[in-house]
Structure 1
Amino acid sequence: MSPTPTPLQDFERALDELEALVQRLEGGDLSLEESLGAYERGVALYRQCQGALEQAELRIRLLADPADPCSAREFRADAE
């Protein structure tokens, strides 16, 4: 059994895959169907990366000002 990847590893993997998809799309060698599939996957990866970045930002805010109840509440709500 392999260990569960960390959120940072998930982010890095998603970003690498997204970059590879962009290169394939920019290459212009994909069919229309392949391009649409790659674009759909790219949107999903972008959203995954965006969510990970938002979580990281909340963690940083919480670490910077642990007394701020708004940051702590947002972090706990998103973690569920």
Structure 2
Amino acid sequence: MEQQTPDKQPGFEERLALLEQIVEKLDATDVPLEEAIGFYEDGIKLSASLHKTLEQAQERIELLTQAGQDIMETEPFEAQADA
């Protein structure tokens, strides 16, 4: 029998999809102000959570790179600007 954990957080992709849904809701012109503020707060929290996950992934990759080399050479991660 499969055990489910009610406190399990959604994965990165699920959180990103939720953030995209929030952005779509905020783009709608008929959202009441109080509801829009709530969406914005939720979006900020999701964005921070996603950013933290990406930072942790970068750190793990750097550690794995270091473990695979005698001399560690890392370069700062620079996101491509989409203009």
> TM-score normalized by structure 2?
0.69
Shift of 1:59: 0.5
Question: Distance in 2 between the 1:37 and 1:64 partners?
Answer: 41
**Runs of 4+ that moved beyond 2 A:** 3-6
Structure 1 residues without counterparts, runs of 5 or longer: 69-80
Shift of 1:10: 1.8
Aligned pairs for 1:32-43 within 5 A: 32-43=33-44
Question: Distance in 2 between the 1:12 and 1:5 partners?
Answer: 14
Q: Give the match's secondary structure for 2:31.
A: coil
Which structure has more relative contact order (CA 8 Å, sep 6+)? It is 1
Q: Which residue of the other structure, out of 1, 4, 7, is the alignment partner of 1:2? A: 4
Structure 2 residues without counterparts, runs of 5 or longer: 72-83
More helix by share: 1
Aligned pairs for 1:1-80 within 5 A: 1-2=3-4, 10-66=11-67
How many residues get paired? 66
Aligned twin of 1:72: none
Supply the RMSD in Å over aligned alpha carbons.
2.2
Question: Distance in 1 between the 2:8 and 2:55 partners?
Answer: 18
Deviates most, 23-32 or 38-47:
23-32
Aligned twin of 1:77: none
Q: Which structure is larger by alpha-carbon Rg, 1 or 2?
A: 2
